[in-house]
């Protein structure tokens, strides 16, 4: 699992690449702690290169959701591959998480950020 973070103003984008399994949770947790300390308005998780996820990792994502709710940070997931999207909808995570396309993320978040900055 490779995790990179890109900051765009008040939006932090977390790029996940590979398999998110229990073995990589500590790396994700460390990244998350650093991210939360920055207090962005939005944390967007780019899942376009996330190939699979296990139940422990889903539990961690739910924990992240609870943390962001408590800190008034919006949490968005975008570009889920079809199998992960199906999993999210099968276990009804879309009721808690904002799950959108990369294009919608770009228009609803990044373009708005650019228009308010200019």
Phi, psi of 14 (to 5 degrees): -100, 120
C-beta separation of 51 from 18 below 8 A:
yes
Per-residue model confidence as pLDDT tens digits over 17-46: 999 999 989 999 999 999 999 999 999 999
- Residues forming beta bridges with residue 67, ordered by sequence position: none
Per-residue model confidence as pLDDT tens digits over 57-110: 999 999 999 999 999 999 999 999 999 999 999 999 888 889 999 999 999 998
Q: How confident is the model at residue 116 (pLDDT cuts 50, 70, 90)?
A: low
The confidence score (pLDDT) of residue 110 equals 87
Report how far apart, in Å, the C-alpha atoms of 34 and of each of 14, 38, 40, 56 are.
12, 7, 11, 21
The 10 Å Cβ neighbour count of residue 13 is 20
Q: Which long-range contacts (CB under 8 A, 24 or more apart) does 60-66 make?
A: 60/25, 60/28, 60/29, 61/93, 61/97, 62/93, 62/96, 64/32, 65/96, 65/97
The confidence score (pLDDT) of residue 97 equals 86
Q: What is the CATH number of domain 2-108?
A: 3.30.750.24
Whole-model pTM: value is 0.91
């Amino acid at each position: 699992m490779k995790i990179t973070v890109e900051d765009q103003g008040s939006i932090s984008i977390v790029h996940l690449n590979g398999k998110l399994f229990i073995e990589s949770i500590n790396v994700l947790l460390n990244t998350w702690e650093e991210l939360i300390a920055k207090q962005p308005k939005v944390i967007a998780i780019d899942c376009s290169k996330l190939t699979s996820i296990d139940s422990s990792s889903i539990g961690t994502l739910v924990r992240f959701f609870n943390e962001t709710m408590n800190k008034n940070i919006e949490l968005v997931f975008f570009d889920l591959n079809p199998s992960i999207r199906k999993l999210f909808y099968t276990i009804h995570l879309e009721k808690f998480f904002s799950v959108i396309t990369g294009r919608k993320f770009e228009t609803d978040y990044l373009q708005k950020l650019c228009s308010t900055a200019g």
